[in-house]
Amino acid sequence: MTFALETAAHPEGLRRVAIDPVSRVEGHGKVTLLLDEHHHIQQVRLHIVEFRGFEKFIEGRPYWEVPVMVQRLCGICPVSHHLAAAKAFDRIVGARPVTASATAVRRLMHYGQMLQSHALHFFHLSSPDLLFGFDSDVAKRNIVGVAQAHPEIAKKGILLRKFGQEIIRITSGKRVHGTGAVPGGVNKLVTKQERDSLLHDLPQMLSWAQDAVDIAKALHAQNPALYNQFGSFESNLLSLVRADGAMDLYDGVLRVRDAAGRILFDGVEDQRYLELIEEEVRPWSYMKFPHLRSLGAERGWYRVGPLARVQNCDFIPSERAETERQAFVAWGRGELVHASLAYHWARMIELLHCVEVIGQLLADPALLAGDLVTSGVRQRSGVGMIEAPRGTLIHDYDVGDDDLVTRCNLIVSTTHNNQAMNEAVRSVAREYLDGRELTEGLLNHIEVAIRAYDPCLSCATHALGQMPLDVTLLAADGTRLDQVQKSSTGEFVHVD
Amino acid sequence: MTAPLLILGWGNPSRGDDALGPMLLAALRQSLLAALGDQVELLEDYQLQVEHALDLVGRSRVLLVDASLSAAAPFEVSALQAAPDSSYTTHSLSPQALLQVYQNLQGQTPPPCTLLAIRGSGFELGQPPSPSALAHLAAALSWVRTTWLPAG
């Protein structure tokens, strides 16, 4: 594993560039490429405005408000935050464990959430790159192009996502601002009519999910050189697994593998995550850089998300997805798969798993009847951890005797992947930067690398008129050589 | 039965002027239910996403409402045309792209869609909407009631 982002061989020839906080406009993704004196990429910095101030926003609030409030962290996966917070406050109210019905309803909600997010990512964000190629016409390389060339694929994506959203509506009570999970349990069950409506659509969803895995697998088989090399770098992998080593996206213990596949840590309880992880602050970014405490920042950074989860677990506890996991492992020929594009394949294996688990949960009578909440001895602190679509999500709270939150620490998947995303962009920039000018082709390749991780961008603030991506090329002395921006309509412009 | 008119607003109520879309819906919800409840559906979300294309099905007219950093104050109204989108995350979708998704999904032209972009300026977490944004919202609300909605 290498760590060349911050350690230049000849730092005296480079100039550090501090990013003015004012320039960190909400909704921007900013990439700064720093060249050395030989005009080779020396350093890459991906600036993503993350959950600025959200922890302070939570502190001082009554704890029972928080599972609803944290949904405003992210407009794409509000349910992940909702459930992670509820799990943390289960600890606070001493609800260990919550009832069988609460577990069933929450799990159904979560796997519906994972399904809708994964479907959106693959079918509507990444499939244009994968189906048309990274260098294809930008006017065609979007979901509209996919819909025109492959209308059946686009339709499956929308309807898979719609199915996941319907599960969320049923289990959380509302399409948005849902309140289904509460500290100690849930506030509603699923009706027989609701369950039957989901069961009706399940076979079709299972078939489409299998199709999605087949597409991802076929793309790798068609162009193994590209898929194995693009944005590939070695890293540690971190995720929750079930106590027996199975994949579990709702609950479990932390496991870390090193880049060679050896298990470094296993069975770490969620309440003890700070014994495993620490967060580093760097002056050029608001987003922290978590790493394994025992290995330090240089060797201890890791990746989370589908690529980590599929390879961290010993098996997937559903038949079809386990078959696909084995095919994925076989692709690595005895080694871990580290290519960034393999995230998409792993993501579709998880999507298939989600549909299978949803089928299992819909057969659980606890969904329809049983106690909603429980409680026990009140605690002052609680950690809630869940595998969100993009990776491990940690909510950590202290609550005072007056029921107000006194401390809040959130580590979201995009933060876990911060170092890895920088590494992916650096890998791509080194390979595709040609000369001293930023080209549309390079910008496209950088976007493809970022897309594999699908970072959360200053969640749920996307007013009209924002610029989605800004790339700046700096000479060794800090002089700006080039700057390009890409608008939400795909317009590519050099900035004077 | 699907209401013939849809007003779809989005934004984050906890982020200053980003709340303008949901606030417009909330104001309408209070006043419209009695008069036009069966003719108009009000739909709120955090962000515009692909499945909202399915919410356009069966409508005669649609109004999409969001806060805007670039619109002229107090608000801008424009007729929307389907157009492709280009984003590198799943965290945004343009209104034009939503119409394009509809067109490709349904195989037909979407219903007439109007974009109401209300000028905002501050989007910080935990901040209330700015006074200027609230003034813009009041003007936009008046336009919706007097111009876009049928007399009720």
- Distance between CA atoms of B79 and B116, rounded to whole angstroms? 9
Distance from CA of A425 to the nearest CA of B (A): 13
What b-and-e string marks burial along A302-338, b requiring 16 or more CB atoms within 10 Å of the CB? bbbbbbbbbbbbeebbbebbbebbeebbebeeeebbb
Size of interface A-B (CB pairs under 8 A): 163
CB contact under 8 A, A460 and B105: no
Nearest to A165 among B51, B66, B104 (CB): B51
* Nearest-neighbour CA in chain B from A74: distance (Å): 8
Q: Where are the domains of chain B?
A: 5-148
Dist. CA A303–CA A419, nearest whole Å? 8
Residue of A66, A150, A464 to mutate, interface with B, max B Cβ within 10 Å: A464
A463/B18 touch (CB, cutoff 8 Å), yes or no: yes
B120 → closest Cβ in A151, A463, A487:
A463
When mean pLDDT is compared across A99-103, A211-215, B46-50, B81-85, the lowest value belongs to B81-85
Place of tokens 């919410």: B55
Question: B85 touching A, CB under 8 A?
Answer: yes
Residue carrying the six token digits 């006017």: A139
On chain B, the residues whose CB falls within 8 A of the CB of A121 are: 90
pLDDT tens-place string over residues B26-45: 999 888 766 777 899 999 99
Residue A15 pLDDT: 44
pLDDT tens track, chain A, 496 positions: 433 444 444 544 544 433 333 223 344 577 888 888 888 888 888 876 555 578 888 999 999 999 999 888 777 788 999 999 999 999 999 999 999 999 999 999 999 999 999 998 888 777 777 777 766 666 666 655 666 677 787 788 889 999 999 999 999 988 887 889 999 999 999 999 999 999 999 999 999 999 999 989 998 998 899 899 999 999 999 999 999 999 999 999 999 999 999 999 999 999 999 999 998 877 666 677 899 999 999 999 999 999 999 999 999 999 999 999 999 999 999 999 999 999 999 999 999 999 999 999 999 999 999 999 999 999 999 999 999 999 999 999 999 999 999 999 999 888 899 899 889 988 888 888 766 778 877 888 888 888 888 776 654 344 454 446 778 888 888 888 888 877 656 677 788 7
Domain covering A97-232+343-372 in this structure, CATH number: 1.10.645.10
Name the residue with tokens 């009041």. Answer: B138
Fold of B5-148: Rossmann fold (3.40.50)
Helix/strand/coil for A227 = helix
> Helix H segments across A16-172?
54-58, 66-69, 78-92, 100-119, 127-132, 143-149, 151-172
Q: Where in chain A is the domain with CATH 1.10.645.10?
A: 97-232+343-372
What does the pLDDT read at residue A1? 41
For residues A296 and B12, which has the higher predicted lDDT (pLDDT)? A296
Q: Cβ A457–B126 below 8 Å, yes or no?
A: no
B67/A contact by beta carbon, under 8 A: yes
Asked if B50 lies within 8 A of A157 by C-beta distance, the reply is: yes
The Cα–Cα gap between A137 and A440 comes to 11
Look-up of token digits 């068609």: A222
A456 contacts chain B (CB < 8 A): yes
Buried b (16+ CB within 10 A) or exposed e, A201-234: eeeebbebbbbbbebbbebbeeeeeebbebbbbe
- Does residue A164 contact residue B51 with C-beta atoms inside 8 Å? no
pLDDT at B78: 96
Rounded to two decimals, the ipTM of the complex is: 0.84
